[in-house]
Structure 1
Amino acid sequence: MELANPEKPFRMSHARRRERTLLALAHNAVDGIPFDSVGSTASAQVAQIVKAMNLPPEVRDYYLDGDFRYLHFGSRPDRGRFLEYLPGLPEAAQVSDWGVGTVALKSVDGYHAGHRTFHPLARVNTTRELDAYPFPDVTESWRHEGLPAQVQAAKRTGHVVVGQMSQTILETAYLLRGLEQLMVDFHERPDYVEALFEQLARRRRFQARRFAESGVDVLRIGDDIATQHGLLVGPRLYRERIKPFHAAVIAEARRVNPAIHVLYHSDGHLTPLLPDLIEIGVTAINPVQPECMDLVAVKRDFGQALTLWGCCPVQSVYARGSRADVAQHVRLLKERLSPGGGLVAQFYNMILTPKVAENLEAFFEIFAAEVVRQP
């Protein structure tokens, strides 16, 4: 495919490329649309699709690299610490730093299709037992002492740097406890929920502060608090029981850097909580699922305050659509959502099938021709 204006953005200086992305996050008009790489959140199989495409090398490398670099606290999961909390854990299971067990699942086509989860707090029913649980010590120096150097290295290569701290409170709590049990706990064991949230929030506040001290541009927090049909918890419950913890985590980072961007991740229909998130300092939302959120309306009503980060209909257009549908999606990004900045394109939560792979290839070709090198 013939591509126009080959100097943008692949041949920008590192400093100019980084400046362009920061301008977009600050709601300024820029050439094209910043792109969050296929390597940052998708499986290695998506990267293989890109590598096999007939694109100029600099275009291909841009898709693989993107405009952002994600950094994490160090992690050394120790399966043995949690075995007493995970009876019946399969030998093939992975165990996280928090003690959550997971077994990767595959689709009939052999693609990654999520995880089966094992909850270590499923049988921990009192605050005394909770106090004895081996939560990770995130203050250990080896977990974060290298962050400042990593941040500076990423900035030198033109990236906007994201401190990754998703599954901040609620989601880690229900991965530890089990979603159904945690919903029961809200009503039957409110003190237990408060104690669990405080255990998590204490660690998250420290992480937020260290990310800000290390110089990241964006703090990525969030909890999956919605489905495609509505909220997992009602607005009142969110405001009373969860929002104060989110606010405190953000405030900890803002005490260090008042200008830090805050990206909130939640799948599903998040629109009812957007005013609350703006109130506590969130400046971007992800993944903004088109299947359950009206992208044009969200841009109209909240686009001055929020960057829309994602906006790719992986469950509809990319799962079942045609190349023409993909082209229409790219036009939506370019013509309706990108004016005035405040947009980052990103694919998220993809279950790969041959059809999805075909449509991803169409996107990469069309986006490169019409947006990435947009005059």
Structure 2
Amino acid sequence: MLSPRERMLKALRFEEPDRVPTFTNLTPQIAEKLGRFLGLPSEPEDSFLSTRISHTEILLSLGNDAVGVGPGRGKSKETRLCEDGTLIDEFGFVCKGTEFYDEIIKRPLEEAETADDVLNYPLPEALDTWRWRKAEQMIAKYSSSYAIIGDLEATIFELSWNLVGMEKFLIDLVMKKEYVFTLLDRIQEDYAFPCGKKLVDMGVDVLWIGDDFGTQRGMLISPDFWRKHFKPRYASLISRWKKLNPELKIAYHSCGSIFPIIPDLVEVGVDILNPIQPKAFGMDLARIKRDWYGILCLFGGVDEQEILPFGTPQDVKQEVWKRFQQAGKGGGYIIAPSHNIQPDTPLENVLAYFDAVKSCRYSS
């Protein structure tokens, strides 16, 4: 029997391990239910994208083959609870808790109009040593047995538009306002690159980057516009990270339908595509497997929009087996839901999902 680390790395070499590997993530609400059920801690990490690096003990007990690490908060920059019940973090996001997610109600650059507005914004220090303490501890504890995935999603586009607000950012991007490109440059060079370099230097096996450019039916911006303004940025980042470690695997995340730019992602050095959202137009797991086997590993594919939350446990097991049959042959597949497991998912479906994953075994 392979160790979880061996299982994951073998799949990434397009070899068949003993069973399909998984790296699955949870929303805090599901983690809390599982924590009570399993008697394990469920408190999420305090970070910009906490779901990818939280709930490790729960997920390993259920069958994850990798551990997620990433940047936390800087020294004395922990998220604060204000008197009015809102939360404010080190980026300057003001959030209000809702039933499912913390919703941003104020953004630090929502009134930005000039390059100086962006240059005067105090972007958190990427290499604050305090930010990396938990990641260092996790790597030291788990790297001998589990693959290590360094998370740096919301790499350029999503962090940028979050600081401004999506509608304003997209309008100003199309209008080619100077501040938009100054902001993209700052996020790319002053935050994304050094954070990624730190993770590579720490020894992660996979650097997981990405930005959501897909909707259910197509891309949020045109493929040509993406190629002009974002493809060169990813190419620059990935080439520099891979120079630090030629064995590094780059995973790229985008929800939704991004089929037209898959060849471009491969061209700039992406090794793993996530999450292959099955209800999104054109994101056919079996087809992508046929087209890109041996070049692009696939990561995801299990329907989180309908089957995981609303199906029966048997439906969930059949869905997992279906995706394994579509993409498992020959390795090159990490099975996972097409999103973090959401709060409306019954606990029995979560358990059925992990049970099914462990049953997806390759014949010896």
The equivalent residue for 1:42 is 27
C-alpha spacing 1:362/1:20, structure 2 compared with 1 (3 Å): closer
The equivalent residue for 1:31 is 18
| Deviation of 1:275 (Å) | 0.7
Measured in 2, the distance between the counterparts of 1:77 and 1:115 equals 24
The equivalent residue for 1:102 is 95
The equivalent residue for 1:181 is 168
1:121-169 deviation line (CA, Å, top 9, x unaligned): 111211112111111111333334775564343212x111111111000
Structure-2-length-normalised TM-score: 0.84
The equivalent residue for 2:121 is 133
Gaps of 5+ in 1: 1-7, 54-59, 83-88, 107-111
C-alpha spacing 1:302/1:95, structure 2 compared with 1 (3 Å): farther
Structure-1-length-normalised TM-score: 0.82
Answer yes or no: is 1:302 the counterpart of 2:295. Answer: no
Measured in 1, the distance between the counterparts of 2:152 and 2:107 equals 20
C-alpha spacing 1:373/1:189, structure 2 compared with 1 (3 Å): closer
The equivalent residue for 1:57 is none
Whichever residue aligns with residue 192 of structure 1, its letter is: Y
Answer yes or no: is 1:352 the counterpart of 2:343. Answer: yes
Tell me the percent identity. 26
Whichever residue aligns with residue 371 of structure 1, its letter is: C
| Deviation of 1:341 (Å) | 0.9
Measured in 2, the distance between the counterparts of 1:120 and 1:134 equals 10
1:193-212 deviation line (CA, Å, top 9, x unaligned): 11000110112111122211
Q: Which moved more, 1:159-168 or 1:207-216?
A: 207-216
Measured in 2, the distance between the counterparts of 1:222 and 1:128 equals 27
Q: Is the 8 A contact 1:47 1:64 kept in 2?
A: no
The equivalent residue for 2:360 is 371
Q: Is the 8 A contact 1:162 1:216 kept in 2?
A: yes
CA-atom RMSD, angstroms? 2.9
The equivalent residue for 2:320 is 330
Whichever residue aligns with residue 309 of structure 2, its letter is: A
| Deviation of 1:105 (Å) | 1.9
C-alpha spacing 1:95/1:318, structure 2 compared with 1 (3 Å): same
1:282-320 deviation line (CA, Å, top 9, x unaligned): 111222111112111111112322222121101111233
Measured in 1, the distance between the counterparts of 2:270 and 2:349 equals 32
Tell which structure's C-alpha radius of gyration is larger.
1
| Deviation of 1:98 (Å) | 2.1
Q: Is the 8 A contact 1:20 1:30 kept in 2?
A: yes
Q: How does 1:29-108 map to 2 (within 5 A)?
A: 29-37=16-24, 40-46=25-31, 48-49=33-34, 52=37, 62-64=60-62, 66-76=64-74, 91-106=84-99
Q: Is the 8 A contact 1:77 1:95 kept in 2?
A: no
Q: Which moved more, 1:170-179 or 1:329-338?
A: 329-338
- Number of residue equivalences: 341
Whichever residue aligns with residue 42 of structure 1, its letter is: T
1:217-276 deviation line (CA, Å, top 9, x unaligned): 111111111111111111111111111111222122111001201111111112121111
The equivalent residue for 2:50 is none
Gaps of 5+ in 2: 39-57
